[in-house]
Amino acid sequence: MKRLHGVIDGKPFPSEASDTIPILYPATNQVQAEMDVALEREVDAAVDAAARAFPIWRRMTGTERGRILHRIADRLRRENDDLAMMEVMDTGKPISEANQVDVQSGADALEFFAGVAASMTGDYHTLGDNYAYTRCEPLGVVAGIGAWNYPLQITCWKAAPALAAGNTMVMKPSELTPQTTIRFAEICHQEGLPEGVFNVVTGDHRTGQHLCQHPHVRKVSLTGSVATGKRVMRDAAETLKHVTLELGGKSPLIIFPDANLGNAVKATMLANFYTQGEICSNGTRVFVHQDVIQPFTEMLRSATESLVIGDPRDPKTEVGSLISESHAESVMQYIQAGRDQGADLVCGGQRHGEVGNFVTPTIFSGCDDSMSIVQEEIFGPVLSLLTFRDEDEVLTRANATPYGLAAGVFTNDLNRAHRVTAELEAGTCWINTYNITPVEIPFGGYKQSGMGRENSRHALSHYTQLKTVYVETGDL
């Protein structure tokens, strides 16, 4: 049985604790490896390694740091197919997605931040005969804590800006999906990242808690659920760490009657069934104008029923396995609640296959805003159709949620599109598309969907602190 360890100073660091966690292939639930649970000793060792590396890494020029990040990105692209298959084995997502998106979006982030590393500057201020300037300095040791839906992408989205800015890092991947992050640490070492700059600790919430409580960790960046975000913030508050939280959502997707319905149907599927619906920004509350609900529902049902569900390793598969048996059960409980609360099942709603954690893509129509399937994040392939009559009404209902990660608007009236997105309480709004997150633009949540931003130059401000230097040129 393969045993997975953390990586500290570029080398495997077996845990002394006897506790391990089995890593399952979600499509069969067979055990593929046993993973160490890093406790205090391992977390301390990782943080110490990162702290030792910090003065070396931060003193390198941005160009030098960027050059190493570029090499790591190139290597990810060369190993795309192997890394994608590793991701499939951990997450159960289809290889057709992992091959195209997961590794490449990680490499994109490394390339983007490798490029901006050299252009980080401060300001200069003339103050009479005196002057002042600012320095954009790294924070020190930062911790990353990841979710299980996009493990390598999440690791890269955190590591790229953190390392580009001169921080060093300890990453804890989800306890369900550690393999690509461990491989990433090996690649970093082989491509010349100095020892200790990027370290990995494996484990569950206990390992995460040690990181959040560690006095020498200056920042925590979490991708996870709202409940975990609150716990992380509470622990981080004890030593006033900086915090970035990328949390859950229950995002609205609004289809006005003048929209191109073919495109709206495609976007609705992308917003609900890509990665089996296990995407934080998914548009799971689909508000469709009452004039087009009938043709829209019919087109959506027919396209959804033609999705190919099955073996994630088969390139033809479009819908893979949910992450775990317990998650599939939780999704099925929501589907039952939808039925019990009076929603109409248009299609799906069943477990699929003899083994694994497959759930068929599910559409409910006739939903109302109070149903639990409409209110709560299910994080699976379950879509709720809601109808509306006018713009003000749909805006009020779209914003009536504690979440605020994303939103989508479909209309051919661009004035309306901009008017509506200006009122939507969401960190990212898409007009006539959905779930597109290139590295060039910021991504993050409003309200309880989180704080801070990943991607774009804005992410750098979350991994740096500003020092002001005032210079007196005369006598006092």
Q: Which residues pair with 375 in a beta bridge?
A: none
Catalytic hit among 280, 347, 367, 429: 280
- CA 107 – CA 301 distance, rounded (Å): 35
Which residues here bind ligand NAD, judged by CB under 6 A? Answer: 145-149, 172, 174-175, 204-205, 208-209, 212, 222-225, 228, 231-232, 246-249, 280, 377, 379, 405, 445, 450
Angle of helix 151-164 relative to helix 80-91, nearest 10 degrees, comes to 120
Q: Tally Cβ neighbours within 10 Å of residue 31.
A: 12
Closer to ligand NAD by CB, 280 or 347: give it.
280
The token pair at 312 is 């994630």
Q: Could you confirm whether 429 is annotated as catalytic?
A: no
Closer to ligand NAD by CB, 75 or 453: give it.
453
Closer to ligand NAD by CB, 224 or 320: give it.
224
- The nearest distance, CB 210 to ligand NAD, in angstroms, is 8
Helix (H) or strand (E) holding 303: helix 293-305
Closer to ligand NAD by CB, 66 or 249: give it.
249
What's the longest Cα–Cα distance across the chain?
Answer: 83
The strand ranges marked E within 15-154 are 20-25, 30-36, 124-127, 130-138, 141-145
- CA 55 – CA 437 distance, rounded (Å): 33
> If we measure between CA atoms, which residue out of 177, 191, 449 comes closest to residue 321?
177
Whole-Å CA distances, 360 to 270, 305, 316: 15, 9, 16
> If we measure between CA atoms, which residue out of 269, 239, 448, 277 comes closest to residue 358?
277
- The nearest distance, CB 344 to ligand NAD, in angstroms, is 26
- The nearest distance, CB 151 to ligand NAD, in angstroms, is 9
- CA 356 – CA 91 distance, rounded (Å): 12
- The nearest distance, CB 145 to ligand NAD, in angstroms, is 5
Catalytic hit among 97, 246, 318, 377: 246
Catalytic hit among 93, 158, 219, 250: 158
Decide: helix, strand or coil at residue 132.
Answer: strand
- The nearest distance, CB 182 to ligand NAD, in angstroms, is 14
Helix (H) or strand (E) holding 138: strand 130-138
Residue 370 buriedness (CB in 10 A; 0-12 / 13-18 / 19+): exposed
The radius of gyration of the chain's CA atoms, rounded to the nearest angstrom, is 23
- The nearest distance, CB 446 to ligand NAD, in angstroms, is 11
Whole-Å CA distances, 34 to 22, 131, 267, 432: 4, 58, 38, 44
The token pair at 54 is 């910090």
Residue 464 buriedness (CB in 10 A; 0-12 / 13-18 / 19+): buried
**Could you tell me if 90 and 178 are in contact, meaning their C-beta atoms sit under 8 angstroms apart?**
yes
Q: Could you confirm whether 238 is annotated as catalytic?
A: no
- The nearest distance, CB 231 to ligand NAD, in angstroms, is 4
- The nearest distance, CB 224 to ligand NAD, in angstroms, is 3
Residue 129 buriedness (CB in 10 A; 0-12 / 13-18 / 19+): exposed
- The nearest distance, CB 24 to ligand NAD, in angstroms, is 15
Helix (H) or strand (E) holding 384: strand 382-388
Say which residues have a Cβ less than 8 Å from residue 407's Cβ, sequence separation at least 6: 251, 252, 253, 254, 283, 398, 421, 424, 426, 428, 429, 430
Q: Could you confirm whether 246 is annotated as catalytic?
A: yes
Active site positions, annotated: 158, 246, 280, 454
